[in-house]
């Protein structure tokens, strides 16, 4: 059986990782965010294995995971907070992808003023009258 100290240590590392994820999201630091997400994935896998092994009844018949539930609730709330930071960015990316997908198969062109002229050619320079 895995000790509760090991489980608490893994949860503490996961909390630190979630804080680092939050800071990277706010700073829009993609390189650091990628590294943090790799670490987070490893920590979650290790923690899941530890919790599975720790879920055996203790000597007094109580399960070892009961004290960890409060910390897991905090971890869940931190993960939701990070998702809320990420949601607006995902909406912008979806909108941009939607535009690009709608433009696929067409011949979009941009005029000198930056306006979109789909399928119609306008001169790059305004013609003088």
The answer to whether residue 114 sits within a structural domain is no
User: Which residue range forms the structural domain that includes residue 102?
Assistant: 4-109
Q: Model pTM greater than 0.85?
A: no
Task: Spell 33-44 as b/e; 16+ CB within 10 A means b.
Answer: beebeebbeebe
Proportion of the chain in helix, strand, coil states, percent, rounded to 5: 65, 5, 30
Mean pLDDT by 10 residues, the chain (129 residues): 62 92 92 92 84 61 64 88 91 88 68 65 49
The answer to whether residue 115 sits within a structural domain is no
Q: How far apart are CA 118 and CA 105, in angstroms?
A: 11
Domains in the chain, number: 1
- Specify the residue for token string 């009961």: 66
55-82 residue pLDDT tens:
555 555 556 566 677 788 888 899 999 9
The answer to whether residue 17 sits within a structural domain is yes
The answer to whether residue 117 sits within a structural domain is no
The answer to whether residue 120 sits within a structural domain is no
The answer to whether residue 85 sits within a structural domain is yes
45-56 residue pLDDT tens:
888 777 676 555
């Amino acid at each position: 059986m895995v000790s509760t100290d090991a489980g608490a240590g893994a949860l503490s590392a996961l909390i630190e990782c979630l804080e680092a994820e939050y800071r990277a999201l706010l700073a829009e630091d993609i390189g650091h965010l990628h590294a943090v997400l790799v670490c987070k994935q490893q920590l979650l896998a290790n923690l899941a294995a530890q919790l599975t092994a720790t879920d055996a009844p203790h000597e007094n018949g109580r399960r070892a995971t009961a004290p960890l539930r409060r910390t897991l609730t905090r971890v869940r709330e931190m993960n939701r907070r990070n998702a809320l930071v990420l949601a607006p960015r995902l909406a912008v990316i979806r909108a941009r992808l939607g535009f690009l997908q709608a433009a696929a198969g067409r011949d979009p062109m941009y005029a000198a003023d930056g306006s979109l002229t789909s399928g119609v050619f306008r001169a790059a320079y305004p013609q003088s009258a």
